Every structure is written in C-alpha cells, then in structure tokens.
Chains A and B, each alone.
Chain A
Amino acid sequence: MPATVAGKPVNGPNKGLFQNTAGFSTLITVTVLTLAWLAGFASRLFAVIRFESIIHEFDPWFNYRSTAYMVQHGFYNFLNWFDERAWYPLGRIVGGTVYPGLMITSGTIHWLLHTLNIPIHIRDICVFLAPVFSGLTAIATYLLTSELWSRGAGLFAACFIAIVPGYSSRSVAGSYDNEGIAIFALQFTYYLWLKSIKSGSVFWSICTALSYFYMVSAWGGYVFIINLIPLHVFVLLIMGRFSQRLFVSYTVFYIIGLLLSMQIPFVGFQPIRTSEHMAASGVFALLMAIGAMKYLHSLNPKGQWKQLLIVGGLVAAALVFIMVVFLTYMGVIAPWSGRFYSLWDTGYAKIHIPIIASVSEHQPTTWSSFFFDLHVLVCTFPVGLWYCIKNVNDERVFVALYAISAVYFAGVMVRLMLTLTPVVCILAGIAFSILLDLVLKEDEIIMTPSEPEESRNLYDKAGKVKKRTQEPPPPADAVLGMNVRSGTLIAFMILLMLFSVHCTWATSNAYSSPSIVLASYGNDGSRKILDDFREAYGWLSQNTAEDARIMSWWDYGYQIAGMGNRTTLVDNNTWNNSHIALVGKAMASNESAAYEIMSMLDVDYVLVIFGGAIGYSGDDINKFIWMVRIAEGEHPRDIHEADYFTERGEYRIDSEASKTMLNCLMYKLSYYRYDSGGSPPGYDRTRGSLPGNRGFKLTYLEEAYTSEHWLVRIYRVKKPDEFNRPRIPLAKRTIPTSNAVSKKTSKRRKGLLKNKPTIVKGKKVGRLE
C-alpha cells in the first residue's frame, strides 16, 4: 500500500501544490503504477515461495498441458489436435473445444524469449503469467477509471485491483487459468469502449473490437461484454442520449467484433445462432432503425416527427424482439444453455444439471465472502456509484450498469465474484478520490471557519455509506476544519492499511495453496509436505503401460493426463454428461456390476482419492453423493440416491450405513485393507468413524499402488482369466474321455477330422495323477 499513499497528492485536478507540471504528475503516475504492479506481482508469489514453481489445481493442468503441446508442435497442429488421451473411447478435439488465448499468450512469450536466447521453461512462463497480467490489469483499470473520473481515482483503483483478494484468488502464481488474462482483457475492452464512445472515432471502436477479440479467445466470460455493451447502448437510447458518436462506435464495434469472434473455432457460429448473443444483434438493429429515423427527422425537423420517432423506436424494438423469439421458436437460434439459464434461476442447476451444481465454485455466494474478497471496498463502492449516478454522463451510465449487473451475478455464483471485483475497485477508487479531494483541497484555499456539522456529515457518509446514500452529499465546495480533515485522513489511512493487511493475509492463507502439494504443520512448527498426488501420478506415468486407461472421478482427469500422462475416461471438461454418469454408476454399483461397466469401457486402472488416513476432507467418499446423483440422472433404474443414505436420511460410512453404500465400488476401493490411521486401527479421520464394512476381499480388482499417506489409491482391473477361478480338486480336472466316446453311436462316428491328431490314450491322465 505505499503505492496508494504515494498516489494521493496527485489526485484531483488541483494545481500548484507541487508546481504541478505534466512531467511531475506523469512521473508519479508511472511510479505508482509500477509499484502497484510490483506489489501485485509480489503478493501472488506465496505459493512459489512456500512450495515451488508449480501449476495448481485442476484446470490449469490442462491449460499447461495444451500449452506445452502447442509450444512443441506449433500452433496449427495445436488447432488440429485430437487428444486421444481424454474421454476414452471418444477422444476430444482440443483445438475446437478450447479458448486458445491463454495458450497463444504464453506460447508467444515463450517464443519471444527463446528468440532472444533466454531459455525459460514453458512451465515457468505459465506459472508466472497470471501475476504478470495482474499488473496489466492494474494499468487497464487505471486507464478505465481515468476515463470515468480522474487520474487520482485511477491510481487508487489500480492499487486496489493489484492486491484485492477477489482478483488474486484467480491469479496467484501457478493458477494458470483463463481468468488470469481475461480480467485484463475485460478491463481493457471496457476502457477502449468508453474511449470510443467518448470520441466517436472509428479508430477506438476498432481497437475495442480487437481487444474484444482477444477476450473472446481467452475466456467464455466474453458473453458478459457482448451483453453489457448492448445494454449500455440500449439504456442510453432509452435515456434519449442517442448521438452520432454512439452510433459510430457501436456499429463499428459490433460488426468487427462479431466477425472476429467467429474466428475462434470454439465460438464458431454461436454469435449468430444462440440466445446469449441475440441482445447484441437486437440492439444493433434497433440502433440502425433509430439512426434511420433520426436521419429522416433531420430532413424535416418539425414537431410531429418527435412522436413518430418514439413510436417508430418502440415498434422497431418490438419487431426485433418478436423476430428473435420467432427464430428461437423455429430453432434457428439455440435457446439459452443450461449454464446461462442457471444464472437467472438459482435452483435450476440443482434440479436439472447436477454436474454444475456439484462444483463448489458454482454455489451461491455467502455474505461473508463478499467481505472476505473485497474488505473495505464493498462498503465504499456504493459511494462511488452514487457519485457516478449523480454526475451522470454517457460513460458513467456504463459503469453503473456494470456495477449493478456484476453485483447480481456475484450473488448467484461464487465464481463470478471475479467480474464484480474490477468494478468495485473502480468505484471505490472514485469514492476515495472524492474523499481525499475534499480533505486535502483546502491547503491552498484560504481558511474559512469550519462547519463541524457539515464535515461530520461528510465523514459519516464515507464511512457508513450503506445507510445514508439517499441523502444528498454536501456541496463540493464545503470547507472543513483542520482537525476534522486530519482526523478523516488518519481514519482512512488506517482503513486502507487494514485493507492491505487483509489482502495479504487472505491471499496468503486462502488462495495460495497449490492443492496438489499439501503441507501439514507439527506442534513445533516444523513443516511436513504431503506429496501423495505427485507420488501416485508419477507412479502411473512410469509403471503402467503407455496406453493404460485410468478410471477416476472427473475432478482428477486433467491431473492424470497432465502429470501421469495416461488416458482418462472423464475429465474436468465435463462435456459429456452420460459418460460421466457411467463412471459414476460404476463407482456406485457393487463390484460385479462395476466390473461389467469397467470391462465395457476397457478400464485398466481405477484411481480413487481417500483422505481418511490424514483427515483430508476433499476426498471421493465426500464427493460420492454427487456421483450417485449424476448417475441417477442417467440411469434412474439402477441407481437410487436414497439407497445410499440410512433410513433416517443420514450419509454415513460406519456400521449403520446402508447396505448399498457398504458394498459399492467406491466404498470398497477406499477402505480396502485400510487398517492404519489413528486408533483404533482403521479409524477414518475425515468422517470421524470406524468403517462399517472391513476385512473384505476384492474379486475383480487388485491394489496396484497406494501412496504414502493413503491419499491416492490405484487399483488394477484384473483380466477375465485372473479372477474368480474356482478351485477344482485335482480329480475333477481330468475329463473322462472314455465316457464321451461310449455315448456316441456308430452312425455318429462318421465325422471326419482334417489333420487328425494322434491321441495317446491315457497319457495325460497318468501325468496329472
């Protein structure tokens, strides 16, 4: 936060304080932004310092793997890449099902560095990409806020977004995911959009479209842009703020952005075929209609045209709407996808798409997480919003819409907190800038007697904004007393300090865990690293056949492919629900039924995560109920969720658990020969109980490997000749050949054998006995 402190003197357009030349303020701006970049970069390195330079979690492993593939094989081979290592036996066309922006970005950096003979491994580029881009995001936010309000506010916003936990949660070193670069693209596109709407220049509109293109290539969240910008245009039209600038910037942006976005193979024809994108084209048509009518109006600017304009506008809007509805009905335009629909109806996913509901980051946001991710900003940003609405112009309408929609989405899904964070930083930056304008301005003005009531009012306003935003703020030229001003200043310094402390703490403790390396701390503070995931994946990569197929729950698909380099059945892409349901069904069935499914799917190994020995709560038994639900969705006849609960509806694993639960494959694989752990032996630390079914034997599988702390257990599926061979006594193994011959009649013996083998009678029998 030294950056913020340094930034303060500059904000506000006041002059004379430091002989405010352009050079001086540029120097401070550049210094603050550089420091913000550095602070943002440094605060994201906790995971690298505590552990190592490593890719985190699940999705980043796929991104890393495909980036490495692209670097090795070139861009066009990457676009044509058919990954036979995923979704066995279906495979996955990676080039057409991925947003390639992330891979292209890091691939370009890799290429550039290697052209300059700087041999940095692609993994390190991937690890540090998000922290580097957080600096770019800070700069983009600075530019955006400067367009909206002032440069001082921009510096505040840049410093906020550099360290705010809501953003660093997705961009710590090693978290190599689309969001890391997409937030930069988002902010930069909005900046360029405001720039183009302000100037009405084709140049800036084309820049907006190009930046939008980058965003489309980077993240599925581009839909947010392509709906928010039309919404902005639409609201401006309603407010009667139509202008040539608006017309030029939107039409140019829409046409070029549409064409460019369709160049991404994964997006393809979606921008003209799906409901998510229809708002943009509807607004485009409406804008055209209004533009045409404005033109007619300009030919004969007389009173009666005004009504015609309004009526015509409404008719055009209705026409466009009916057209879209009609096309959707006809099936030309695809209706909203389930994921999109679940944004409006929060209960939708739970009923219809359990696979979306099963992901923790798709859960609704709790109130505490707003504060945890944004801290003081969540309290101050309404002030900024208020000022924006009060001093409204074309751009501030945009930021108001941005704030309102982002707050709604962030409330629906934890994950979308990410889209809220930038706008909160912008508005809080504006709020702090206004406040400091007020308390620092008077230095050069001759002191007038202070007005305590007024100043109190202002102080309270900034602090407890939630309750009193309705009240109009005191006039901007209010003059405050020296004590009040310094008091306010100190109070806000303390708030900002607390904010920065909280940001560092939250980033360090909540968001900097690689999750594939776990650490536990002993009583003496010594650290023990639990490296079971890599141990097991390393084992898979070295000691199984090259083409071995591994069945696991989809969460681990990307990691198995990335670290173990083996074929998986399902992975985090989750594009094929029935395939996942089949795996879920195998896990939820008993051993013999599961064996049928597994041999149908050519499974060689089964991998389960079992946290009972060390008390790791994110293991498969805890996720198991989702497997059952997803399996039940596709196979309602075989799997019933209720079977896995006790009669009282409890989910438990001890002796009171239901019989189906105790005999399903997942249960058996988790607890097979599990007798270590705490006391009594075999105690499950995660569930805090003793497993109900113990000492059983496996018929169709055998333990192939279990990691040191039992976290990952790998089983080999036996071949049909290896299991269940009944032990036949020696006497019964011989075939009584003489009987068989005697049964045949003389007529039946006529059959001829080609190459008739000579049989030495009785020899085999004698040897066996």
Chain B
Amino acid sequence: MIPAMAKITFSLAFLLCVIIKCNGVSVDTISDDIRLKNVDRHIDISSQLVKITSKITLENAGQKPAKNFLYAVESTAKNNLAFVGVKDNNNRDLRLVETTVKGHDGVKFWRVELKEPINAASSLVLTAESVYTKSLLPYPTAITQQEDQLVKYNGNLYFFTPYPVTSQKTSVAMITKAVESFTKVKPFSQQDGTILYGPYSNTGPFTEKELSVHYKNNSPFLTVTRLERLIEVSHWGNIAVEEKIEIEHTGAKLKGPFSRYDYQQDHHSGPASVRSYKTLLPASAADVYYRDTNGNISTSNMKVKKDSVELDLRPRYPLFGGWRSHYTLGYNVPSYEYLYHSGNEYLLKMRVVDHIFDDMQIDELITKIVLPEGSTNIKINTPYSVTRLPDSLHYTYLDTKGRPVITFTKTNVVENHIQDFQLRYTFPRILMLQEPLLVVGFLYLLFLCVIIYVRLDFSIHKSEHPHKE
C-alpha cells in the first residue's frame, strides 16, 4: 500500500512539474497599447543586496482593456535576480508568470496578471520590487585589516521595460557620503548618501545605459553558502527545527596579517569584518542550541521579546573577507501554532526559510520536513517554485518502518522568500498508540523472559547443594 501511495505522490509531483514546465514556455507579445507615464525608481545599495523598488504609472493608450502587462529584467542582471514581486495600489500581490517574447531571447520576462483590467485611456499605479544578490562587487578585491571596503555597483540608468516611458526618475541610496566615483548623466544631484538621477523624459523600450557607483560599504557581506533546514513534526505537541548553516564573508578578501592587537585596541579596526549578527526566531521558540562540530559555541546571547526570540550570535572568530564558518542552530516550537487538523487530515503551515540575519542572501537552501511515521497522502504547496527532491525515509527513536521526509531545494534566496508553505497529509490517529505499545510490549517480554528464566532450571548438571550460595 505504501509503495503504491508513494508512486501516486511521485506521479502527481511529476504531473505538477510538467504543468509548471508548460507554463514556463508560454510565449507572449509586447502590446503596443501600454506605455508608462511615470516611473519612480529607488535603488537601495546600502547593504550587500541591491533592492530596487519602482513605482510605475501604467497607462492604456489602446482601445481594449488590458488584462496584463510584461515586466522585464535585462540580460546582464537576470542571473543575480533573487526575487521579483509586483503590488497594486491596494498593496495586494499580483500573480507573476514567467514568459518569453520572440526576438528578445536574452531578456527575462514576467507576465503580470492584473486583478482588474485597465480600461482604455485610464492609468494604474503599481509597485514593482526586485532584489539582486552578488551585484555589488568589492573593488579592490582585497583589503588590509584597517581599510574600508569599497564596492562597485553596475546597473542600468533607465528603467528596463518593453514599453516606452514618458518620464522617469531614479534615486540611488547608499547611506555613506564616501563615494569614489559615479556615473554623471545630467540632470543629477548628490545629496548626503543619495544620488538622484532624472527626470529623463521619453525613453524608448529596452533602453540600457550603464549606471556605475563606486563607494564605501562596510555593511556585512555575509553569504550563507548552504542552509539545510530540518523540520521534524511530532504529534505529541512539538516541532523541532534544526538549521545547519555554512557561512562565508564574501566581501573584499583580507590581505596580509590579522593583528589581534589592532583589533583589540582600536574599535574601528577591521571595519569590514563581521563580529556578530542577530537572528530572529519565532516567539515560541524554546530549547535553543547553537553549536558546531567541536561543540557548543559559547559566545551567544538570547533575548526573549514580545513577538520573537532574538539571538545575538557571535561566530567563534570575527569573519573577515574570505573567511568561513559553519554552525548548527536548533530549537523547538509547540505544534499547535503550526499544525492544524480535522479528523485524520493534517495541515502543516511553516516557513520555507527563516530569518538568519538582516539582508541575508542564501546560495543554496535545502528544506527537509520529517512527518510522523505512517503519514500518507502528502501534498505540498509552496509559495514560489522550488525543486522537489525525491522523498526519503528517516529513522529515529521507536521507528519501525521509517518516517517520510519531504525535501525541496531552492537557490538564491533572500529575505523576501520568508513565506509559509502548506503541507497536507493524512495520519490515522490510532497510530499514536504504536510507540507506547512498543515500549510496553518490550518490557512485558523482558519480564516474561526473566520470570521464565528464574522459575525454570536450565542446568545440565544437577547441583548437589541447591541452596549453597
């Protein structure tokens, strides 16, 4: 019965994949009716990520109402794109479908499905948000302990879109005043920590012009190279979460020696290094542990706040450019907050990935969900597309046939991906008795054996003095 179920689940998953694939290869055309009346773009490069928020005023110049429009990302940036999302003026998320357009092979397109179509000659204000990782390159690539980290941002001066833009403005925020150089295309102005470009009027579709900013950025350039998140569900009221994290400082590499003396004496020494960072856990998290292969990492603090548990994690050593570290972080949460059921049907609602530090970037995420032994009919629903890996079995205390493990993986994950997945499964509640009965049965057998052994005489040779001690 179980293999059959697995087969069905597998084929369902396969079917799902096929459907997604079919959607993926859909082809669209660029509508001539749509034009962008105004684009207000804000590029935030003060952290290690590039976050672009664009306020777009969409106008339908055609005759028919437009149901959707295309959002595009230039070919140079598409590999670094981690997240893209569009909201309408009521702050509702709109559905994005990946698509292609003939004649523009290098460009990545999304078709944004509007909630209500734009009528002819009317306009609509939308907010598009995109996050890029690894777009800020340290330059110079190696610095000494005392030096500040300088990075270079290369982007597009204009909003990249398949439609003509009537007017656009761009502001680049990097907080610091220490800017080495930046692209100067008039009109522009530099205020403290911000460079304003525009307004530029009447740019055609697919316009690209290099925007380059070289500036000081000492914010932590930490990359989680691999995150393995294990969620173990128990029906006895507990969900255990364990995250195995490999972390690396991906900013400018440390050149020359590391001097403890300088680091201790001068508080400004090692400005680009990372001494500690904060991790936010769910408010109900308990029994938190923070360790690596050599045991407990004693340099951490935990603060229980109203809506979260704040961990102040300090790696064993400060992280300089190119230095790596790894650790395991685990905690328990009560299951009633995340696990819902009616009869034998269960629904698990948890985050695909959780907060590690502000402005985090994760190269590879692997999430594993261990369900109780005997769970069947497993269906997973993720908020964005992930790669599902084959299911496996996990054996732990008092298991007989193993617990099903659902595994999926995703690359290039940022904070915007902290969203809930939904996992439905069937679990006959009578199976809850299996484990206590197993223990009871074992003890019963043990005592029975002892009783039999004590009562019966197994000796070959009859002892002459039965009471002799």
Contacts and interface: CB of A to CB of B under 8 A. Distances in A.
Interface of A: 22, 25, 51-54, 117-119, 151, 517, 529, 531, 534-539, 542-543, 563, 673-676, 702-708, 710, 713, 716
B467 A676 contact: no
A538 B316 contact: yes
A676 B323 contact: no
Contacts of A117: 395-399
A554 B324 CA distance: 27
Contact of B292 (A119, A538, A675, A702): A538
Given A22-B469, A539-B323, 12 more contacts: A52-B296, A538-B292, A538-B294, A538-B316, A538-B317, A542-B324, A542-B325, A542-B326, A543-B322, A676-B265, A702-B256, A705-B258
A539 B322 CA distance: 12
B398 to A, nearest CB: 7
A534 B295 contact: yes
Contact of B259 (A151, A703, A707): A703
B323 A542 contact: yes
Interface string B303-331: 00000000000001100001111100000
Contacts of B317: 535-536, 538-539, 705, 707
B255 to A, nearest CB: 11
Contacts of B344: none
Nearest to B263: A706
B125 to A, nearest CB: 49
B91 interface: no
B257 A538 contact: no
B296, B316, B469 interface centre (most CB from chain A within 10 Å): B316
B89 interface: no
A673 B266 CA distance: 14
Given A542-B326, A676-B261, A704-B257, A534 B316 contact: yes
Contacts of B298: 517, 529, 531
B264 interface: yes
A301 to B, nearest CB: 31
A539 B256 contact: no
Interface in B373-418: 395-399
A542 B469 CA distance: 62
Contact of B260 (A54, A537, A563, A706): A706
Contacts of B297: 531
B294 A563 contact: yes
Given A117-B399, A676-B264, A537 B257 contact: no
Contact of B294 (A537, A676, A706): A537
B261 A119 contact: no
B299 interface: yes
Contacts of B257: 702-704, 716
Interface residues of B, number: 29
23 contacts: A22-B467, A22-B469, A119-B395, A151-B469, A534-B294, A534-B316, A535-B317, A538-B325, A539-B317, A542-B323, A543-B322, A543-B324, A673-B260, A674-B261, A675-B261, A702-B256, A703-B257, A704-B257, A705-B260, A707-B260, A707-B317, A710-B260, A716-B257
A119 B316 contact: no
A706 B295 contact: no
Contacts of B467: 22
Contacts of B325: 538, 542
Contacts of B299: 531
B53 to A, nearest CB: 36
A119 B264 contact: no
Contacts of A563: 294
Q: Mostly helix, strand, loop or mixed at chain A's interface?
A: mixed
Nearest to A20: B469
A535 B316 contact: yes
Nearest to A21: B467
A54 B292 CA distance: 12
A716 B259 CA distance: 12
A673 B259 contact: yes
10 tightest A-B CB contacts, nearest first: A706-B260, A702-B257, A529-B298, A538-B316, A703-B257, A535-B316, A542-B324, A117-B395, A54-B295, A52-B296
Contacts of B326: 542
A512 to B, nearest CB: 16
A536 B324 CA distance: 13
A704 B323 CA distance: 12
Nearest to A54: B295
A543 B259 CA distance: 16
A117, A119, A542, A716 interface centre (most CB from chain B within 10 Å): A542
Given A538-B325, A673-B261, A706-B258, A118 B294 contact: no
B251 to A, nearest CB: 15
Contacts of A707: 260, 317
A539 B316 contact: yes
A535 B322 CA distance: 17
Contacts of B265: 675-676
Nearest to B394: A119
A119 B396 contact: yes
Nearest to A23: B454
Contacts of A537: 294
A543 B397 contact: no
B403 to A, nearest CB: 10
Contacts of A703: 257-260
A674 B264 CA distance: 11
A54 to B, nearest CB: 5
Contacts of A536: 317
Contacts of A705: 258, 260, 317
Interface in B139-175: none
B167 to A, nearest CB: 50
Nearest to B249: A543
A552 B257 CA distance: 19
Contacts of A708: 260
Contacts of A673: 259-261
Given A52-B296, A529-B298, A710-B260, A118 B316 contact: no
Contacts of A704: 257-258
A542 B318 CA distance: 12
A52 to B, nearest CB: 5
A676 B397 CA distance: 51
A60 to B, nearest CB: 13
B326 to A, nearest CB: 7
A531 B316 CA distance: 8
Contacts of A706: 258-260
Contacts of B259: 673, 703, 706
A534 B398 CA distance: 35
Contacts of A543: 322-324
A205 B319 CA distance: 62
Interface in B251-310: 256-261, 264-265, 292, 294-299
Nearest to A562: B294
A22 B261 CA distance: 73
B244 to A, nearest CB: 14
A675 B266 CA distance: 13
Interface string B426-469: 00000000000000000000000000000000000000000101
A84 to B, nearest CB: 20
A119 B397 contact: yes
Contacts of A529: 298
A586 B161 CA distance: 67
B258, B265, B326, B397 interface centre (most CB from chain A within 10 Å): B258
B257, B397, B469 interface centre (most CB from chain A within 10 Å): B257
Contacts of A118: 397
A329 B44 CA distance: 86
B256, B317, B396 interface centre (most CB from chain A within 10 Å): B317
A563 B317 CA distance: 15
Contacts of B258: 703-706
A482 B257 CA distance: 80
A52 B298 CA distance: 10
A536 B261 CA distance: 16
A262 B299 CA distance: 49
A710 B397 CA distance: 44
